[in-house]
Amino acid sequence: MRLAGKVGVVTGSSRGIGRAIAVALAEKGVRVIVNSRSDRAGGRDVVNEIVAAGGEAVYQEGDVTVEADVDTLLRAAESTFGQIDILVNNAGRTEPSSFESATIEHWQRMLDLNFMSAVLCSRRALKSMPPGGTIINTSSSRGFDANGREGVIAYSAAKSAIHNLTRTLAKQLAPDVRVNAVAPGFVATSYMDRVSEEQKEQWLDIIPLRRFITPEEIARVYVFLAEADFLTGTIVNADAGFTLGRG
Protein backbone atom coordinates (compact mmCIF):
# COMPACT_ATOMS: atom_id res chain seq x y z
CA MET A 1 0.00 0.00 0.00
CA ARG A 2 1.25 3.46 -0.89
CA LEU A 3 0.70 5.38 2.35
CA ALA A 4 0.78 9.02 1.25
CA GLY A 5 -2.69 10.52 1.56
CA LYS A 6 -4.16 7.58 3.48
CA VAL A 7 -6.04 8.05 6.75
CA GLY A 8 -4.87 6.28 9.89
CA VAL A 9 -6.36 5.95 13.37
CA VAL A 10 -3.92 5.00 16.15
CA THR A 11 -5.51 4.24 19.50
CA GLY A 12 -3.52 4.91 22.66
CA SER A 13 -1.13 7.19 20.81
CA SER A 14 -0.37 10.01 23.24
CA ARG A 15 2.88 8.38 24.39
CA GLY A 16 5.16 5.38 24.10
CA ILE A 17 4.72 2.94 21.23
CA GLY A 18 1.49 4.55 20.03
CA ARG A 19 3.07 7.97 19.79
CA ALA A 20 5.98 6.56 17.77
CA ILE A 21 3.54 4.77 15.42
CA ALA A 22 1.52 7.94 14.82
CA VAL A 23 4.67 9.96 14.04
CA ALA A 24 6.13 7.24 11.80
CA LEU A 25 2.91 6.95 9.78
CA ALA A 26 2.70 10.73 9.44
CA GLU A 27 6.26 10.78 8.10
CA LYS A 28 4.98 8.53 5.30
CA GLY A 29 2.21 11.01 4.48
CA VAL A 30 -0.61 9.37 6.42
CA ARG A 31 -3.22 11.74 7.85
CA VAL A 32 -3.43 10.61 11.47
CA ILE A 33 -6.08 10.58 14.18
CA VAL A 34 -4.26 10.60 17.53
CA ASN A 35 -6.20 9.15 20.47
CA SER A 36 -5.96 8.69 24.21
CA ARG A 37 -8.42 8.02 26.99
CA SER A 38 -7.45 11.02 29.12
CA ASP A 39 -3.95 12.29 28.26
CA ARG A 40 -5.07 15.35 26.31
CA ALA A 41 -1.77 17.17 26.73
CA GLY A 42 0.22 14.22 25.43
CA GLY A 43 -2.14 13.71 22.51
CA ARG A 44 -1.98 17.34 21.48
CA ASP A 45 1.81 17.28 21.76
CA VAL A 46 1.87 14.43 19.23
CA VAL A 47 -0.41 16.39 16.89
CA ASN A 48 1.80 19.46 17.22
CA GLU A 49 4.90 17.40 16.47
CA ILE A 50 3.32 15.95 13.33
CA VAL A 51 1.99 19.29 12.10
CA ALA A 52 5.31 21.03 12.77
CA ALA A 53 6.98 18.45 10.52
CA GLY A 54 4.51 19.20 7.73
CA GLY A 55 2.04 16.38 8.36
CA GLU A 56 -1.68 16.29 9.08
CA ALA A 57 -3.12 15.12 12.39
CA VAL A 58 -5.98 15.75 14.80
CA TYR A 59 -6.53 14.61 18.37
CA GLN A 60 -9.66 12.81 19.55
CA GLU A 61 -10.12 11.86 23.18
CA GLY A 62 -12.00 8.63 23.87
CA ASP A 63 -12.06 5.43 25.89
CA VAL A 64 -11.82 2.60 23.36
CA THR A 65 -13.42 0.13 25.79
CA VAL A 66 -16.66 2.13 25.53
CA GLU A 67 -18.65 1.58 22.34
CA ALA A 68 -20.04 5.13 22.23
CA ASP A 69 -16.53 6.58 22.52
CA VAL A 70 -15.30 4.28 19.77
CA ASP A 71 -18.07 5.53 17.50
CA THR A 72 -17.14 9.14 18.28
CA LEU A 73 -13.47 8.44 17.58
CA LEU A 74 -14.08 6.81 14.21
CA ARG A 75 -16.67 9.43 13.24
CA ALA A 76 -14.01 12.07 13.86
CA ALA A 77 -11.75 10.34 11.35
CA GLU A 78 -14.55 10.08 8.81
CA SER A 79 -15.76 13.66 9.19
CA THR A 80 -12.22 15.10 9.12
CA PHE A 81 -10.59 12.98 6.42
CA GLY A 82 -13.44 11.06 4.76
CA GLN A 83 -12.63 7.43 5.50
CA ILE A 84 -10.37 5.08 7.46
CA ASP A 85 -7.63 3.26 5.56
CA ILE A 86 -5.44 2.16 8.46
CA LEU A 87 -6.56 1.19 11.96
CA VAL A 88 -3.89 0.53 14.57
CA ASN A 89 -5.40 -1.06 17.67
CA ASN A 90 -2.61 -0.07 20.01
CA ALA A 91 -4.35 0.89 23.26
CA GLY A 92 -3.49 -1.47 26.09
CA ARG A 93 -2.10 -1.76 29.58
CA THR A 94 -0.97 -4.37 32.03
CA GLU A 95 -1.68 -4.48 35.76
CA PRO A 96 0.29 -7.04 37.77
CA SER A 97 -1.75 -9.53 39.79
CA SER A 98 -1.41 -13.17 40.72
CA PHE A 99 -4.10 -15.61 39.63
CA GLU A 100 -5.10 -16.16 43.25
CA SER A 101 -5.58 -12.47 44.03
CA ALA A 102 -6.96 -11.25 40.70
CA THR A 103 -10.58 -10.17 40.98
CA ILE A 104 -13.22 -10.65 38.30
CA GLU A 105 -13.12 -6.88 37.84
CA HIS A 106 -9.36 -7.09 37.15
CA TRP A 107 -9.89 -9.81 34.54
CA GLN A 108 -12.67 -7.87 32.85
CA ARG A 109 -10.62 -4.66 32.82
CA MET A 110 -7.62 -6.38 31.24
CA LEU A 111 -9.76 -8.15 28.64
CA ASP A 112 -11.68 -4.98 27.81
CA LEU A 113 -8.61 -2.83 27.32
CA ASN A 114 -6.27 -5.34 25.69
CA PHE A 115 -8.75 -7.34 23.60
CA MET A 116 -12.31 -6.00 23.39
CA SER A 117 -11.06 -2.53 22.45
CA ALA A 118 -9.63 -4.07 19.26
CA VAL A 119 -12.92 -5.84 18.58
CA LEU A 120 -14.96 -2.66 19.03
CA CYS A 121 -12.64 -0.46 16.97
CA SER A 122 -12.26 -2.98 14.15
CA ARG A 123 -15.98 -3.59 13.87
CA ARG A 124 -16.71 0.14 13.71
CA ALA A 125 -13.81 1.00 11.37
CA LEU A 126 -14.98 -1.52 8.78
CA LYS A 127 -18.05 0.62 8.15
CA SER A 128 -15.92 3.12 6.21
CA MET A 129 -12.76 1.16 5.42
CA PRO A 130 -12.42 0.75 1.64
CA PRO A 131 -10.94 -2.26 -0.14
CA GLY A 132 -7.20 -2.17 0.39
CA GLY A 133 -7.56 -1.09 4.01
CA THR A 134 -5.58 -2.62 6.83
CA ILE A 135 -5.95 -3.33 10.55
CA ILE A 136 -2.85 -3.74 12.71
CA ASN A 137 -3.24 -5.02 16.26
CA THR A 138 -0.76 -4.59 19.09
CA SER A 139 -0.14 -7.88 20.82
CA SER A 140 2.81 -8.88 23.02
CA SER A 141 5.45 -11.56 23.22
CA ARG A 142 3.42 -12.68 26.26
CA GLY A 143 0.64 -13.72 23.91
CA PHE A 144 2.57 -16.63 22.41
CA ASP A 145 2.14 -20.18 23.70
CA ALA A 146 4.16 -20.85 26.86
CA ASN A 147 5.28 -17.22 27.13
CA GLY A 148 2.53 -15.98 29.42
CA ARG A 149 3.79 -14.55 32.67
CA GLU A 150 2.20 -15.60 35.94
CA GLY A 151 2.18 -12.08 37.38
CA VAL A 152 0.27 -10.69 34.39
CA ILE A 153 -1.88 -13.69 33.55
CA ALA A 154 -4.96 -11.71 32.49
CA TYR A 155 -2.89 -9.50 30.20
CA SER A 156 -1.17 -12.55 28.69
CA ALA A 157 -4.52 -14.25 28.06
CA ALA A 158 -5.90 -11.11 26.39
CA LYS A 159 -2.89 -10.91 24.07
CA SER A 160 -3.31 -14.57 23.13
CA ALA A 161 -6.87 -13.70 22.19
CA ILE A 162 -5.52 -10.89 19.99
CA HIS A 163 -3.47 -13.49 18.09
CA ASN A 164 -6.56 -15.57 17.39
CA LEU A 165 -8.62 -12.51 16.46
CA THR A 166 -5.92 -11.35 14.05
CA ARG A 167 -5.71 -14.63 12.18
CA THR A 168 -9.44 -15.33 12.12
CA LEU A 169 -10.38 -11.81 11.02
CA ALA A 170 -7.67 -11.92 8.35
CA LYS A 171 -9.35 -14.96 6.80
CA GLN A 172 -12.81 -13.44 7.04
CA LEU A 173 -11.92 -10.05 5.54
CA ALA A 174 -9.58 -11.19 2.75
CA PRO A 175 -9.01 -10.12 0.06
CA ASP A 176 -10.46 -6.66 0.76
CA VAL A 177 -8.89 -5.86 4.14
CA ARG A 178 -5.61 -7.12 5.57
CA VAL A 179 -5.27 -7.86 9.30
CA ASN A 180 -1.89 -8.29 11.00
CA ALA A 181 -0.36 -7.82 14.43
CA VAL A 182 2.88 -6.80 16.10
CA ALA A 183 4.01 -8.59 19.26
CA PRO A 184 6.61 -6.36 20.95
CA GLY A 185 9.00 -7.69 23.53
CA PHE A 186 10.67 -5.42 26.09
CA VAL A 187 10.36 -1.84 24.82
CA ALA A 188 12.12 1.13 26.41
CA THR A 189 9.03 3.23 27.13
CA SER A 190 8.51 5.43 30.21
CA TYR A 191 7.49 2.24 32.05
CA MET A 192 11.18 1.36 32.23
CA ASP A 193 11.78 4.46 34.36
CA ARG A 194 9.90 2.72 37.17
CA VAL A 195 11.85 -0.53 36.90
CA SER A 196 14.93 -1.21 39.04
CA GLU A 197 18.32 -1.69 37.42
CA GLU A 198 18.42 -5.18 38.94
CA GLN A 199 15.17 -6.11 37.21
CA LYS A 200 16.39 -4.69 33.90
CA GLU A 201 19.53 -6.81 34.13
CA GLN A 202 17.44 -9.90 34.80
CA TRP A 203 15.38 -9.20 31.68
CA LEU A 204 18.45 -8.50 29.56
CA ASP A 205 19.90 -11.82 30.65
CA ILE A 206 17.00 -13.69 28.98
CA ILE A 207 17.02 -11.62 25.77
CA PRO A 208 19.46 -13.10 23.20
CA LEU A 209 20.31 -9.68 21.72
CA ARG A 210 20.78 -8.30 25.25
CA ARG A 211 19.08 -5.00 24.52
CA PHE A 212 15.71 -3.33 24.83
CA ILE A 213 13.84 -2.07 21.78
CA THR A 214 13.01 1.60 21.23
CA PRO A 215 9.47 2.75 20.38
CA GLU A 216 10.80 4.16 17.12
CA GLU A 217 12.17 0.75 16.11
CA ILE A 218 8.86 -0.94 16.85
CA ALA A 219 7.00 1.76 14.91
CA ARG A 220 8.92 0.79 11.77
CA VAL A 221 7.32 -2.66 11.96
CA TYR A 222 3.84 -1.11 11.89
CA VAL A 223 4.77 1.01 8.88
CA PHE A 224 6.08 -2.09 7.12
CA LEU A 225 2.83 -3.98 7.77
CA ALA A 226 0.78 -1.02 6.58
CA GLU A 227 2.72 -1.01 3.31
CA ALA A 228 3.04 -4.78 2.79
CA ASP A 229 0.13 -5.65 0.51
CA PHE A 230 1.24 -9.30 0.46
CA LEU A 231 0.83 -9.93 4.20
CA THR A 232 -2.27 -10.83 6.16
CA GLY A 233 -2.80 -12.99 9.23
CA THR A 234 0.83 -12.36 10.21
CA ILE A 235 1.99 -11.76 13.77
CA VAL A 236 5.42 -10.15 13.79
CA ASN A 237 7.31 -11.19 16.90
CA ALA A 238 9.51 -8.11 17.43
CA ASP A 239 11.22 -9.05 20.68
CA ALA A 240 15.01 -9.09 20.19
CA GLY A 241 14.83 -12.88 20.45
CA PHE A 242 13.14 -13.04 23.88
CA THR A 243 10.78 -15.90 22.96
CA LEU A 244 13.73 -17.97 21.77
CA GLY A 245 15.13 -18.19 25.27
CA ARG A 246 18.86 -18.46 26.02
CA GLY A 247 19.16 -22.22 26.33
Give the residue with greater pLDDT, 15 vs 101: 15
Q: Is 59 a catalytic residue?
A: no
Task: Give per-residue pLDDT as tens, 158-210.
Answer: 999 999 999 999 999 999 999 999 999 989 887 777 778 888 898 899 899 99
User: What gap in Å lies between CA 117 and CA 90, rounded to an integer?
Assistant: 9
Instruction: Please report whether residue 241 resides in a domain.
Output: no
pLDDT the model gives residue 218:
97
Instruction: Please report whether residue 106 resides in a domain.
Output: yes
β 235-238/86-89 pair status: unpaired
- Our count of domains for the chain comes to 1
Look up the pTM and report it: 0.94
CATH of the domain at 101: 3.40.50.720
pLDDT the model gives residue 73:
98
Tell the burial category of 122 from Cβ atoms under 10 Å away from its Cβ (0-12, 13-18, 19+). Answer: buried
Instruction: Please report whether residue 39 resides in a domain.
Output: yes
Instruction: Please report whether residue 62 resides in a domain.
Output: yes
Name the percent of the chain lying above pLDDT 90.
80
- Of the pLDDT bands very low, low, confident and very high (cuts 50, 70, 90), residue 88 is very high
Q: Containing domain of residue 39, as a range?
A: 7-236
User: What gap in Å lies between CA 206 and CA 203, rounded to an integer?
Assistant: 5
Instruction: Please report whether residue 244 resides in a domain.
Output: no
The answer to whether 120 touches 89, Cβ cutoff 8 Å, is no
**Who contacts 12 (Cβ-Cβ below 8 Å, separation ≥6)?**
18, 35, 36, 37, 64, 90, 91, 92
**Catalytic one of 59, 155, 191, 222:** 155
